[in-house]
Amino acid sequence: MATPHNNAERGDIAKTILLPGDPLRAKYIAETYFEDAIQFTDVRGMYGYTGTYKGKELSVMGTGMGCASMGIYSYELIHMYGVENLIRIGSCGGFSEELELGDLVIAMGACSDTNYANQYGLPGNYAATASFDLLREAVAEAEARELHFAVGNVLSTDVFYRKPGATKPWEDMGVLAAEMESFALYCNAAAGGAKALCLLTVAGLPEAKEQMSSEQRETGMTNMIEVALETAWEVTEE
């Protein structure tokens, strides 16, 4: 069944999906890594594809930026299309002094300064966490590739441009990096009985005023994409 945001029909989307924020990255992944990729949606320019990777059916689809956008797409994927495993792949701004440009961050949990979780009527603050099954596979793959990576908490925020030092309270609590979508994904997965994971490439170190070069971005994103694909492959049945 098509939705206002996705013109796929039930069955067009695989049980496991990769979710980059950038729809053009979804297109790149489908064209570079999938066999027999078929586009299932282009509504609002948010491209989605299904194909096979090493013989298993996988999908990839852009989600846009922010919890609101991720909330819409991931909700529909879980509830309207029966997706069971959702793996976000994106970029982040690193907080930790141990992180370098191009490093991989595996989000075990996601904090947020949004009101996204208010919809659940919980009598406290919700701790949004990744699926351990997906997390374990991603860590094993990153270790096998001998990548420089960190596992921990990230901040999903509505604010991209901030005053210098504004994120220090989060840094003091050990939060590794900032991005904009993981909290909504983890909430929707928990509420919908699905599994979710967020993998991030450190594209900037805001306090140090450093950004990845185009060459670093290409290499770093490749590492993240391939860890995500192998993780997806491991948790997907034949």
Please spell the DSSP secondary structure of 79-139, one letter per residue.
Answer: HTT---EEEEEEEEEE-STT--TT-EEEEEEEEESSSGGGGGT-SS---EE--HHHHHHHH
Whole-number Å distance between alpha carbons of 115 and 157? 10
Whole-number Å distance between alpha carbons of 205 and 207? 6
DSSP-derived letter for residue 43 is G
Higher pLDDT, residue 211 or 53: 53
pLDDT in tens, 134-169: 999 999 999 999 999 999 999 999 988 888 888 899
**Alpha carbons within 13 A on the beta-carbon side of 84:** 10
Whether pTM exceeds 0.85: yes
Structural domains of the chain, with CATH: 16-235 (3.40.50.1580)
Whole-number Å distance between alpha carbons of 213 and 232? 28
Contact in structure between 161 and 45 (CB atoms under 8 Å) = no
pLDDT in tens, 180-224: 999 999 999 999 999 999 999 999 886 667 787 766 665 669 999
Distances (CA, A) of 188 to 12, 86, 116, 159: 21, 10, 10, 21
Q: How far apart are the first and last CA of the chain?
A: 24
Helix (H), strand (E) counts: the chain: 6, 11
As a whole number of Å, the CA-based R_g of the chain is 17
Lowest-pLDDT range of 53-62, 64-73, 113-122, 164-173: 164-173
